[in-house]
Chain A
Amino acid sequence: MLQINNLSMTAGKFSIDDINLLVPDGCCHVLLGGTGNGKTLILEAIAGLRSIKSGEIYSDGINIEGEFPENRYISYVPQDLALFPHLNVEKNILYPKRFKKNHIRSDEEIREIIKYLQIENILHRSIKNLSGGEKQRVALARAFVSGNKVLLLDEPFSALHFTLKRTLWGMLTDIQKRFNISILMVTHDLEEAEFLADYVSILYKGRIMQSGIKEEVFENPTQIEVTKITGHYNYFSGEVIGINDDSCIVYISSLDSIFSVNNIAFIKSDKVTIAIRTNKIKINPLDDKIPNTIKCKMQNLYKTSNYNQLALLPDKMKGERIDEVEEIVVDFYDDKNLDFEQGQKITIHIPINDIYVFKNN
């Protein structure tokens, strides 16, 4: 188990403030955030490669802050992998065996790791002649051979082709389960996080915005910054005009419409922002008189193999939306082979439970 309490640090002008993280045994915790938000700094601090201002780092209940990296028993695979260019694949993988104090894997286990990661055939190759995916697997193998129970991964698969990524995600999960490894991984890849994570934390400008079980964070974003990282949303600014027992009424001026939302933590005339997930919008509901419907005209249709994307122009559009986009974007899975013409009238409905409201700062 890895536990980070109130970690703060600075690197140049950039600062990391009050980070709290928990990685239970055998779990994968994904630190999600765009580049330049301090993800790598946090991993380096945990690995002992960078000094911190304050905070505690517990590994299996022992505070390892201040220890040398080699005495923390935490493996770290940096984004560039740092494979040793003067050693071949096998020597890279067996490198941790040189240090007796490590909880070295048995030869049997090492063979298993090599097999899991499918590197039997490249053991005697030079590092320089490996493909990106091969390098990635060698770096993972080396980290696993160290026998450390905690593994830190920095954007491990970002440079890889997406089909290759998925294969590696599978391999990683298998070994993790087999050896009961706790993984803390940073990425900006949403799909990767959804695939690998048990827990997710959202990092924004050196602070954690939200942390918790993956589904919880993705389904219930508590801050608008979280929505920007965990999915695709349409944003509208509005004002609370009425409060009910379990919902409130928000007026969206740009659409000249009234929305009913679930959240009740507001008072009247609060300025708020509404976020609507692009894939939660229903097209042409049977009853277009129900609340939370908007009448639009079809503007554009983009088709991909996974989903279709509609760009709609609201009929009552006035002024600009906060994100300076006029269109409402709708992602849908097309199982009926729908066809739309430009200018065609489309009504959309947003279920009350899929509207997120955040108070403006």
Chain B
Amino acid sequence: MGMKKVSITFSFITLLFYLTLIFSLLSFISKDRFFEILFSERTLFSIKLSMTAAFVAVLLSFIIALPAAYALSRYEFFGKNFVDLILELPMIVSPAALGAILLLFFYNNLGTWIQGNIQQFVFTFYGIILAQFTTILGITIRMIKNGFDEIPSRYENAARTLGASSFQAFRSVSLPLCRRSILSTLIFAWAKAVGEFGATITLAGTMAMRTETLPVAIFMRLSVADIQGAVVLITILLAIGLFVLFIVRQVIGGKSNASN
């Protein structure tokens, strides 16, 4: 067997592995229960909540990640190594620990003041966003930075000598050249945010119709030993996630082919 066959075999093993897991899920589903849970007000709320919070979290992290990643990729500055190092923090500590860190932050004076004077985060919708945001910010910056690293600065230099300011050069050259890697980063971040559980439940609680995201709902079902219910919700989460990813990939793929 050549490298081609071997490698393709392994890619199919991966597909098979995950498909097997999905199919074994389906054997637990009863049809009636599925639709009853899917169309319940509570589940629909969870879906909407998960999607919205993840969207806002991705948007916020993108606003910060884009300039931060650019700085890390293009400039040398004091403390750069530390910034670079800290990006991995959310990956090192477990999600639950990350949630605990956030909770402990709101325990101290600054955190208490923020909660009292600016916004209550703990046990609120904003807590979900904060938990997801904290989880994805580091990796979003890291991935966008890698994207910028791939674009040599000579393009921006050329743009500058042709009259573009540093900002205009960024906008008209580096940004479009990085578009694909940025978009796939955002998709990745969104998927990670939607599936985020440990930090969310610790920081935002479990109240139905308020902070019960899909992953939290799944956990709550499991913790009352409602396996069927959990399976239905897992299936819904999986279906929505894969569907959204599929659609977005189609859209990006189509666009980029046209522009090339």
Contacts and interface: CB of A to CB of B under 8 A. Distances in A.
Interface of A: 44, 47-49, 68-70, 72, 74-76, 78, 80, 82, 84-86, 95-96, 98-99, 101-102, 126, 128, 142-143, 146
A101 B260 contact: no
Interface string B219-260: 000000000000000000000000000000000000000011
Size class of the contact patch on chain B: 20 to 34
A48 B165 CA distance: 12
A96 B162 contact: yes
Interface in B147-199: 154-155, 157-166, 168, 172-173, 176-177, 179
Contacts of A82: 154-155, 157-158
A76 B158 contact: yes
Nearest to A95: B162
B161 A75 contact: yes
Contacts of A44: 157
B177 A48 contact: no
Contacts of B162: 70, 75, 95-96, 99, 102, 142-143, 146
A69 B157 contact: yes
Contacts of A128: 260
Nearest to B168: A99
B177 A101 contact: no
A133 B159 CA distance: 21
A95 B171 CA distance: 13
Nearest to A46: B161
- Residue of B160, B172, B259 with highest tally of chain A CB at under 10 A: B160
A68 B165 contact: yes
- Residue of B158, B161, B172, B259 with highest tally of chain A CB at under 10 A: B161
A269 to B, nearest CB: 54
Given A96-B163, A98-B164, A98-B172, A78 B259 contact: no
A69 B177 contact: no
B168 A48 contact: no
Given A78-B154, A84-B155, A84-B173, A69 B160 contact: yes
Contact of B157 (A78, A98, A126): A78
Contacts of A48: 160-161
Contacts of A75: 161-162
7 contacts: A69-B157, A70-B160, A70-B161, A84-B155, A96-B163, A98-B164, A142-B162
A319 to B, nearest CB: 50
Nearest to A139: B158
B44 to A, nearest CB: 41
Q: Which 6 A-B pairs have the closest CB atoms?
A: A82-B158, A99-B163, A69-B160, A76-B161, A102-B163, A96-B162
A291 to B, nearest CB: 55
Contacts of B158: 76, 78, 82, 84
A148 B214 CA distance: 59
- Residue of A82, A143, A146 with highest tally of chain B CB at under 10 A: A82
Nearest to B173: A84
Given A80-B154, A82-B154, A84-B155, A49 B161 contact: yes
B171 to A, nearest CB: 10
Contacts of B173: 84, 86
A74 B161 contact: yes
Nearest to B259: A86
A70 B164 contact: yes
B161 A47 contact: yes
Nearest to B157: A49
Nearest to B163: A99
Contacts of B155: 82, 84
Contacts of A126: 260
B153 to A, nearest CB: 9
B11 to A, nearest CB: 28
